[in-house]
Homo-oligomer: A and B are copies of this chain.
Amino acid sequence: MAQEQRIRGVLAPVVTPFTKDLAPDPQRFVAHCRWLLELGSGLAVFGTNSESNSLSLDERLALLDFLLDAGIDPGRMMPGTGSCALTDAVQLTDRATKAGCAGVLMLPPFYYKDVSEEGLFRFFSETVERVGDARLRIYLYHIPSVAIVGISPGLVERLLGRYPGVIAGMKDSSGDWTNTKTMLDNFATSGFDVFVGSETFLLANMQHGGVGCISATANVNPAAIDRLFRSWQEADADEQQQGLDAVRGVLSRAAMLPALKAVLAHYRNDPAWVTVRPPLVELAAAQVQALIQGLDELGFTIPLT
């Protein structure tokens, strides 16, 4: 375990581009992934901000194959593979693991509410057993504001006890530092790698034994977030954190996901990026204008590599 080189640092829940008829656009997707990699970000494809649950299983499998066929390094990928349906979760997790992905980011099944810790344990346990591959690395995805169903410390303890090494860590998108701290304090020394779900907590996470962040805004601001990850022990870390927070503050004034797409569309001069799948809607023109104005005032831009 101690020798294993696990994925760390900054990962983007890669936004998924759509064509006008709402089909995934694999060419724009792979181009965005290449751009993210060049600027230091790993690829948490199929996350919340990827509209992953708005895609069918077949659409996700096809996009994953497209990335692999395009030569994107699976060692820099942590696809989201959680699902309400055990069979879907197993199929996608299996494919990602056999392709050599660094890990998978698994939502708990999120349709039924108030489910028991035992039921969630069985879901993850069945996934591990059915995939049956020693390379499997599962990162548990805690995002209670969206999934409602969460990942409790008790569940982590049971899973880590039963599948050490395979249960590799978590993404904590609770937005609650107390929860992240609990996870770090309880499990970080057991080979359980904690990513925060927002760069707002990146410095704090690194200072307390975490390994990075998986954040929506890494889709548009990857280099600056990666810089803090690499230099969090340096003198200007607090200043860097404040700079990241300012950009995120502007991006958070509108709904995050359409805001990210609006920013990509604007700075790349590529309007096709704005398309989202229902039930999401794109930003109104006035919202886009306010967003860009706010970013311009910060001197923000995205490099066109």
Contact = CB atoms under 8 A, between A and B. Distances in A.
B56 A277 contact: no
Contacts of A73: none
A169 interface: no
B86 A119 contact: no
A270 interface: no
Interface residues of A, number: 38
A126 interface: yes
A18 to B, nearest CB: 10
Contacts of A277: 86
A116 interface: yes
A279 B54 contact: no
B55 A279 contact: no
B85 A54 contact: yes
Contact of A22 (B88, B126, B145): B126
Interface stretch (A36-44, A106-114, A286-294): A106-114
A113 B279 CA distance: 10
Nearest to A148: B148
Interface in A118-145: 118-120, 122-123, 126, 145
Indicate the member of A119, A123, A278 with the most B CB atoms within 10 Å: A278
Given A119-B278, A119-B279, A111 B109 contact: no
